[in-house]
Amino acid sequence: MSPRLILLAAVLSGLFAAPALAAGDPVRDDVMLNLQRCSAITDNRTWLNCF
């Protein structure tokens, strides 16, 4: 196998693995839950404190 083919395979496998890392992040889940919880607040200061 040529080095270019190995490099291409490594890059593609890294690109496909990146979304799996983001989906398993607990901090991201907390942010998304707070986003839904705080979306009904209309006052800017209270909304910022909600996060």
To the question of pTM greater than 0.85 for the whole model, the response is no
pLDDT > 80? residue 40: yes
Tokens 């907390």 belong to residue:
30
Kindly tell me if the per-residue pLDDT of 21 is higher than 60. no
Mean pLDDT over 45-49 rounds to 86
- Asked if 50 and 37 count as a contact pair (C-beta separation under 8 A), the reply is yes
Taking residues 1-27, what's their average pLDDT?
Answer: 76
Q: Is the pLDDT of residue 20 over 70?
A: no
Q: Where are the domains of the chain?
A: 3-50
